[in-house]
Structure 1
Amino acid sequence: MIDVRVLFASLGTHGHTYPLLPLAAAARDAGHEITFATGEGFADTLRAQGFDPVATGMPVFDGFLAALRIRFDTDSPEGLTPEQLSELPQIVFGNVMPQRIFDELQPVIEGFRPDLVVQEISNYGAGLAATKAGIPTICHGVGRDTPDELTGSIEEEVGRLAARLGIDLPPGRIDAFGNPFLDIYPPSLQDPAFRTRAERYELRPVPFTERTDVPSWVTSGDRSRPLVYLTLGTSSGGTVEVLRAAIDGLATLDVDVLVASGPSLDVTHLGEVPANVRVEPWVSQAGLLPHVDLVVHHGGSGTTLGAFDAGVPQLSFPWAGDSFANAQAVAQAKAGDHLLPDAINSEAVASTAKRLLSDESYRTAAKAVAAEIAAMPAPEEVVRRLPEFAERRTN
């Protein structure tokens, strides 16, 4: 196999960077030269995995501040209506962040001279930079396709940015810029229209974690009750009030509850928790899921796919973005259920979780999805195609 230089590029969040790491590791192990461009907060993680990190982009919060200045000439959202605030995401993800990443990747591309770019689907700036440089590119998905109004408005913003940069884009969806697409979502649960797109290649979603250790009491063999894993993710996938309601509901069941509070919630406001609940700031999700009987979460793609991969039923609280699409996929698979924001309270959480734990059909359905995932091509298989993709020069 011919060795190639590959530039991986993602937005600087866990949910957008971690899904690319298994393919990057497989490419590294196959002898390819890898540079990984993402947020500076991931530099230590990337170096520990043997990658050469390049800091690009900005924190999402900074992106929203920039969008406020662009759209409303202000540094504060105070006084803006909900309708005005709803105009910001497409500016952040379709203009501000792509422009920053496009600018920062110019010298990276010139210096590294990659043969191939692996662009994470939401990193439009990388797609624009690769297109401008005429470098073959493949788009790496991170979840279920969401062809909703927000996605459409973001892509319209990207189209306007491309025009300002003098970049001609192919017709149709902008997500992959007309390039091959690596789809990590179970094919039976992917959006039907998306499954028929040209040059869609399946890629098994492999959970990534920096460490695989889990609390010793989880694996000690002393537990006699089901284990419920509760997380609201690494981004703002919920509030302390939602977390408290979930804890209070789950605590009424004859279960053990492990809560991963994550970095985005201030759990000092939780107060005391019941005896059958343990709160950890972080836990290795990939290491934990094989020991879990139910996952209760925010609806993020990483946790949804992780629970599917482990064959575990799930209860989600969809709140924004792709969480609704993920909840729909879980319902379609009959592998769990969800509660909408206005329906989340301790009683609803308790009754729904009890049903998911007691009805074995949910676990059977989840295991069927796990078998489907196991049959998808592994990263090591897909890596064999990288030289073929790299030969598709556009200029």
Structure 2
Amino acid sequence: MTNIFFGLSGGLGPLMRNAPTAERFIQSGASVYMSIYGESSMAWVERLGYKFLVDDDPTMPDPDKLIPPQPAIYDLDHYYAQMGLLDERFVEAWIRQRIRMLESIGADLVIADMSPHTLIAAKVLGIPSVSITQSCFHPDGKPLYFWGTPPRNLPKVTPVMNRLLYTFGLPAVERMEELFRADVDIVPGIPEMDRIYNNRVRYVGPISMNMPVSAGAELEKNFRRPAVLVYPGRLADSAGDSGMYLVKAVLSAFAETPVFVVIATSEALPEAWLASLPSNIRIVPFVEEERVGEFDLFIHHGGHGSCMSSIARGVPSLIIPTHTEREFNARHLHELGLGEYMMPRSFSPSHLYDLSKYIMQDEYRDHAGDLQKLLEKRGYQGALSVFECAQQLLRGTNRSTTC
């Protein structure tokens, strides 16, 4: 039996854009294994029925070599300094544990989403690999902080990584972004949002899935226009309580207005908020992907999956980007005329409401509809394309190509 390993970072985004590919492998008779970080994400992997592998190595980063999490991220060296990769002892344990994990299941193919140690382990073991990546994380894409000049003297984890790459017999890299290259690099999006200056990259269009819980009858009974969908992402993450702030801002801005608002979050909100929920606002765990197009506006945190969902369904966005990668997405979406963005804690409730009404009444919806039609004309195949590329790798007919 063929064994497929998915190495994912954390959060629902990577899971939702990789699960459809995993399902295709299961249908083909393969065994699928996943590793992901974050208790909520782990629970969802198990709930969806995938074989879950726990990264249970006890080695932790030296606190003296760990910088605090922050919403400003200037490049992947800076990001991974927040994850402990300035500590060589921790990084070696991190990589060796991933090597042992792949060996334990006899992995025949690796698919990695924001998981450099998975790709390193695959290269050490000679396992074919696929990288699911965004342009801001790819060495040939636009820099993560393209609109400004990063501060001087930021921490660098690349020298630490290069010492270990040498130990494993792998070539050195000039920056962390190079470690996101695999035998096949796949973007779950479109070149307009994710321009990568490399002809090897394969664009497969948006990938998403419906979760086994949804808005269901709640929307059927109460839905009316104008309607706004809100997705805050995780209520608290490395950027702080930005998701909670977004929900609170929406509750304040839209309470008892003529706009019907659906907030999609499966995480627990304060009981006091739920007890005094305005009559025009509903809170549901998820909204089915095909229902996103019923809304007049999508307010979200700027995650790549949310941006692609709004594009695929022809709905304009108002983004409250909770860290630099999401601001990267927000700026590109705005450049395409598909919406606006506001920085967290930079607006009042009335400002949020007025801008939302403006986006719903202006030309943004037309622009979103035009791009939606262009995507349909191109005929992107999403997870099917990922699966077919991976199958070619398994057959040995495609190494270092665009499939």
2:259 is matched with 255
Spell out, residue by residue over 1:150-173, the C-alpha distance to the aligned partner (whole angstroms, 9 max, x if none).
Answer: 8x9999514522422514236564
Task: Sort the Cα spacing of 1:230 and 1:385 in 2 relative to 1 into closer, same or farther, 3 A.
Answer: closer
Spell out, residue by residue over 1:183-221, the C-alpha distance to the aligned partner (whole angstroms, 9 max, x if none).
Answer: 012222213xx1x2142112232222322531424123x
Q: CA deviation at 1:365?
A: 1.6
How is 1:344-359 mapped onto 2 (pairs within 5 angstroms)? 344-359=347-362
Cα distance in 1 for residues equivalent to 2:211 and 2:26: 17
**3-state SS of 2:82 partner:** helix
1:188 is matched with 192
1:231 is matched with 231
**3-state SS of 2:10 partner:** coil
RMSD: 3.7
| TM-score, normalization by structure 2 | 0.78
Spell out, residue by residue over 1:210-243, the C-alpha distance to the aligned partner (whole angstroms, 9 max, x if none).
Answer: 22531424123x6443111123112536154443
Is the contact made by 1:68 and 1:88 (CA closer than 8 Å) also made in structure 2?
Answer: no
**3-state SS of 1:37 partner:** strand
2:50 is matched with 51
Task: Sort the Cα spacing of 1:136 and 1:315 in 2 relative to 1 into closer, same or farther, 3 A.
Answer: same
Cα distance in 2 for residues equivalent to 1:338 and 1:158: 32
1:103 is matched with 96
Q: CA deviation at 1:99?
A: 4.7
Task: Sort the Cα spacing of 1:161 and 1:235 in 2 relative to 1 into closer, same or farther, 3 A.
Answer: farther
Task: Sort the Cα spacing of 1:320 and 1:378 in 2 relative to 1 into closer, same or farther, 3 A.
Answer: closer
**3-state SS of 2:157 partner:** helix
How is 1:83-162 mapped onto 2 (pairs within 5 angstroms)? 89-93=79-83, 95=85, 99=92, 101-120=94-113, 122-141=114-133, 145=137, 147-148=143-144, 156-158=156-158, 160-162=160-162
Is the contact made by 1:94 and 1:155 (CA closer than 8 Å) also made in structure 2?
Answer: no
Cα distance in 1 for residues equivalent to 2:156 and 2:64: 20
Question: Which amino acid counterpart does residue 46 of structure 1 have in structure 2?
Answer: V
Cα distance in 1 for residues equivalent to 2:333 and 2:30: 36
Task: Sort the Cα spacing of 1:287 and 1:66 in 2 relative to 1 into closer, same or farther, 3 A.
Answer: farther
Is the contact made by 1:11 and 1:123 (CA closer than 8 Å) also made in structure 2?
Answer: yes
Q: Does 1:323 align with 2:326?
A: yes
**3-state SS of 1:352 partner:** helix
Is the contact made by 1:229 and 1:295 (CA closer than 8 Å) also made in structure 2?
Answer: yes
1:164 is matched with 164
Question: Which amino acid counterpart does residue 80 of structure 2 have in structure 1?
Answer: Q
**3-state SS of 2:101 partner:** helix
Percent identity over the alignment is 16
**3-state SS of 1:319 partner:** coil
How is 1:73-92 mapped onto 2 (pairs within 5 angstroms)? 89-92=79-82
Cα distance in 2 for residues equivalent to 1:334 and 1:105: 42
Q: CA deviation at 1:317?
A: 0.9
**3-state SS of 1:174 partner:** helix
Question: Which amino acid counterpart does residue 51 of structure 1 have in structure 2?
Answer: Y
Cα distance in 2 for residues equivalent to 1:155 and 1:365: 40
User: What residue ranges of structure 1 are gaps of 5+ in the alignment?
Assistant: none
Task: Sort the Cα spacing of 1:224 and 1:129 in 2 relative to 1 into closer, same or farther, 3 A.
Answer: closer
Task: Sort the Cα spacing of 1:124 and 1:371 in 2 relative to 1 into closer, same or farther, 3 A.
Answer: same
Q: Does 1:368 align with 2:360?
A: no
Cα distance in 1 for residues equivalent to 2:193 and 2:171: 29
Q: CA deviation at 1:70?
A: 2.5
Question: Which amino acid counterpart does residue 11 of structure 1 have in structure 2?
Answer: S
**3-state SS of 2:324 partner:** coil
Q: CA deviation at 1:109?
A: 1.8
| TM-score, normalization by structure 1 | 0.80
1:6 is matched with 4
Question: Which amino acid counterpart does residue 206 of structure 1 have in structure 2?
Answer: I
Is the contact made by 1:184 and 1:202 (CA closer than 8 Å) also made in structure 2?
Answer: yes
1:37 is matched with 35
Q: CA deviation at 1:287?
A: 5.7
Cα distance in 2 for residues equivalent to 1:291 and 1:389: 39
Is the contact made by 1:232 and 1:297 (CA closer than 8 Å) also made in structure 2?
Answer: yes
Task: Sort the Cα spacing of 1:57 and 1:299 in 2 relative to 1 into closer, same or farther, 3 A.
Answer: farther
Cα distance in 2 for residues equivalent to 1:175 and 1:319: 25
Spell out, residue by residue over 1:308-348, the C-alpha distance to the aligned partner (whole angstroms, 9 max, x if none).
Answer: 22211110112313111111122122111111235321121
Question: Which amino acid counterpart does residue 246 of structure 1 have in structure 2?
Answer: V
Task: Sort the Cα spacing of 1:210 and 1:336 in 2 relative to 1 into closer, same or farther, 3 A.
Answer: same
Cα distance in 2 for residues equivalent to 1:241 and 1:276: 19
Q: Does 1:174 align with 2:187?
A: no
**3-state SS of 1:380 partner:** helix
**3-state SS of 1:351 partner:** helix
Q: CA deviation at 1:47?
A: 4.4
Q: CA deviation at 1:9?
A: 0.8
Q: CA deviation at 1:23?
A: 1.5
Cα distance in 1 for residues equivalent to 2:77 and 2:4: 35
Is the contact made by 2:134 and 2:194 (CA closer than 8 Å) also made in structure 1?
Answer: no
Cα distance in 2 for residues equivalent to 1:240 and 1:24: 31
Q: CA deviation at 1:366?
A: 1.6
Cα distance in 1 for residues equivalent to 2:109 and 2:155: 23
How is 1:269-284 mapped onto 2 (pairs within 5 angstroms)? 272-280=276-284, 282-284=285-287
Is the contact made by 1:143 and 1:184 (CA closer than 8 Å) also made in structure 2?
Answer: no
| Structure with the higher helix share, 1 or 2 | 1
Q: CA deviation at 1:266?
A: 4.5
Q: Does 1:388 align with 2:384?
A: no
Is the contact made by 2:77 and 2:156 (CA closer than 8 Å) also made in structure 1?
Answer: no
